[in-house]
Amino acid sequence: MSAPTSPADLVILGGGSGGYAAAFRASELGLDVVLIEKDKVGGTCLHRGCIPTKALLHAGEVADLAREGEQFGVKTSLAGIDMDGVNAYKDGVISKLYKGLQGLVKARKITYVEGEGRLTSPTTVEVNGQTYEGRHILLATGSYARSLPGLEIDGSKVITSDHALNLDRVPASAIILGGGVIGCEFASAWKSFGVDVTIIEALPHLVPLEDEASSKLLERAFRRRKIGFELGSRFSGVQNTENGVKISLENGKEFEAELLLVAVGRGPVSQGLGYEEAGVAMDRGYVLVDEYCQTNVPTVSAVGDLIPTLQLAHVGFGEGILVAERIAGLNPAPIDYAGVPRITYSDPEVASVGFTEAQAKEKFGEVKTLTYDLAGNGRSQILKTTGAVKLIQAVDGPVVGIHMVGSRVGELIAEAQLIYNWEAEADDVASLIHPHPTQSEALGEAHMALAGKPLHVHG
Ligand SMILES: Cc1cc2nc3c(=O)[nH]c(=O)nc-3n(C[C@H](O)[C@H](O)[C@H](O)COP(=O)(O)OP(=O)(O)OC[C@H]3O[C@@H](n4cnc5c(N)ncnc54)[C@H](O)[C@@H]3O)c2cc1C
């Protein structure tokens, strides 16, 4: 394809969640868009992140149900995990969504360019030897799986999530370095597949960005599931052994397993792409932006994992839409990042929106909290899940934090999101009748209790 001679309204570098959302919204608003992608539209989320991990977790849930059918009076047993079958199921989901996304790119009349691009000036990107000029440029090159200094990823015994998603076997044992979202999701899925899993986390808790009460509930549930974890322990080295790897920690402890999954976070993809040369301000590889995702160079914006905001696909969508609407002159409001829902899709799930108790105390001074145990929720008992809903309220004010642990609570975060973002007070939610028997009742009952009119609460 030859490069257009007149500048496009928007040239986007990177077709992941952030880049393609901007492209779709901009074209919807009548802008002329060029989308440049070196691999596959959909990026990390569709091909190496959200979607494949959730497919593995669902396969794990099916395995657990087969293994544990007896507790529901159903005679089942797990004959085994066929990794080829699991991968075929996972890849089938990805490929269907990928086709759909490619169709949307075509239908929106976006100029799609395959190739590796580089920013060559505040208004141009070069790809395949051709220059694409835009009134605006959007940088959306995403992130990669990081490692630690001296810890080399070999792709077979020491792997990242990219490799872990394509394993052709179920390992007998695995060590997971990092107890954040990605580490806990793999620990959960692998345990369901029968892997002997140990998580090593340098901070004092699993999912350390969550409210401490949620971390503790997850830890209790993982203990029950016999998922091992070493908290507050720093990695010091790895050695190859005949059957796998041996990990040493700074506290002198050693662990052996068939493989090591390194899940210590993700770094921005920005090196060698011409950003600094074009005058874009950066910090440790991240592109710096204002609350409208605009860099210090007025024609250049950036979104998604490339900027130092929450590394979530839906944050990328939101930021991409924001940039498209700003460029189109719609005057969109900045994003309230505290109002973005966060979910760890392990078993049990951890979901939250708003502030943790510690953050809320810092921001609002005094706060009131209420914890509603899922033991009082009928649907949760039917599912045999444990956990809780914790609410944090600014005293005499709205609910500013909602934290949940339990099977399927990720689906409840949409209501919690409305409560936080519409600044609802406990009474507002308490007066809404929730359907029975659902897990959503736990949210309703928690607000009833916070409003001083508890229903199914002991003591
Ligand atoms: C294992 C895992 C599980 C996850 N699970 C979830 C989840 O459940 N929910 C959630 O919200 N988030 C999840 N995430 C995070 C989510 O995937 C990211 O936040 C999201 O993909 C970021 O979108 P992005 O557009 O910024 O970057 P990316 O999706 O990484 O897209 C960047 C794109 O840019 C392209 N690119 C890079 N450099 C160039 C170049 N020079 N020229 C052309 N193209 C280029 C890349 O090929 C890529 O397609 C997960 C991530 C991982 C790794």
Condensed to tens digits (0 to 9), the pLDDT of residues 414-436 reads: 999 999 999 999 999 999 999 99
Across 111-135, average pLDDT: 98
Has residue 3 been placed in a domain?
no
pLDDT at 456: 86
Has residue 458 been placed in a domain?
no
Among candidate residues 387, 395, 394, the one with its CA nearest the CA of residue 443: 387
Has residue 148 been placed in a domain?
no
Question: What residues line ligand 1, using a CB cutoff of 6 Å?
Answer: 13-19, 36-39, 43-45, 48-50, 53, 116-117, 140-143, 161, 182, 269, 273, 304-306, 311-314, 316, 345
- Cα angle: 436, vertex 440, 444; to 5 degrees: 90
In the chain, the number of structural domains is 3
Has residue 418 been placed in a domain?
yes
Dig out the tokens for 298 from the structure.
């007025």
**DSSP β-bridge partners for residue 255:** 247
CB 445 within 8 A of CB 435: no
Instruction: Kindly report the protein residue whose alpha carbon is nearest to atom 26 of ligand 1.
Output: 304
- Say yes or no: 430 and 285 in one domain: no
- Say yes or no: 188 and 232 in one domain: yes
One-letter identity of residue 125: V
pLDDT at 148: 94
Cα dihedral sign for 145, 417, 347, 61?
negative
pTM: 0.97
Residue at which a domain ends, from 235, 264, 293: 264
Has residue 184 been placed in a domain?
yes
Across 33-47, average pLDDT: 98
Share of the chain above pLDDT 70, in %: 99
For residue 214, what are the contacts with CB-CB under 8 A and spacing of at least 6?
207, 350, 352, 390, 403, 404, 405
| H/E run at residue 185 | helix 181-193
Across 128-133, average pLDDT: 97
- Say yes or no: 97 and 181 in one domain: no
Residues carrying an active site annotation = 436
Give the pairing of strands 245-249 and 235-240. antiparallel
Residue 103 has pLDDT above 80, yes or no: yes
Residue 2 has pLDDT above 70, yes or no: no
| Residue 295 CA: distances (Å) to CA of 290, 314, 329, 333, 451 | 6, 21, 17, 17, 44
Say whether the peptide bond before residue 348 is cis (omega within 30 degrees of 0).
yes
| Strands (E) located in 88-160 | 111-114, 117-121, 124-127, 130-139, 143-145, 158-159
Instruction: Kindly report the protein residue whose alpha carbon is nearest to atom 12 of ligand 1.
Output: 312
3-state SS assignment for residue 223? helix
CA distance 167 to 60: 15
Instruction: Kindly report the protein residue whose alpha carbon is nearest to atom 51 of ligand 1.
Output: 49
- Say yes or no: 187 and 235 in one domain: yes
Report the largest interatomic distance among the alpha carbons of the chain, rounded to a whole angstrom: 74
Residue at which a domain ends, from 337, 359, 392: 337
- Say yes or no: 333 and 359 in one domain: no
3-state SS assignment for residue 113? strand
- Say yes or no: 288 and 240 in one domain: no
Residue at which a domain ends, from 233, 264, 295: 264
- Say yes or no: 257 and 288 in one domain: no
Has residue 89 been placed in a domain?
yes
Across 91-102, average pLDDT: 98
- Say yes or no: 213 and 285 in one domain: no
Across 65-71, average pLDDT: 96
Banded pLDDT at 320 (limits 50, 70, 90): very high
CATH code of the domain containing 312: 3.50.50.60
pLDDT at 4: 66
CA distance 30 to 45: 27
The sheet carrying 254-257 orders its strands as 235-240, 245-249, 254-257
- Say yes or no: 272 and 136 in one domain: yes
The closest-lying atom of ligand 1 relative to the alpha carbon of residue 115 is 43
| Number of C-beta neighbours around residue 451 at 10 A | 17
CATH code of the domain containing 406: 3.30.390.30
343 Cα–ligand 1 center, Å: 17
| Residue 251 CA: distances (Å) to CA of 256, 334, 368, 427 | 15, 44, 38, 49
pLDDT at 459: 67
Residue 257 belongs to domain spanning: 158-264
The closest-lying atom of ligand 1 relative to the alpha carbon of residue 306 is 26
Q: Position of tokens 């950036």? A: 302
- Say yes or no: 12 and 139 in one domain: yes
- Say yes or no: 284 and 258 in one domain: no
108 Cα–ligand 1 center, Å: 21
pLDDT at 81: 98
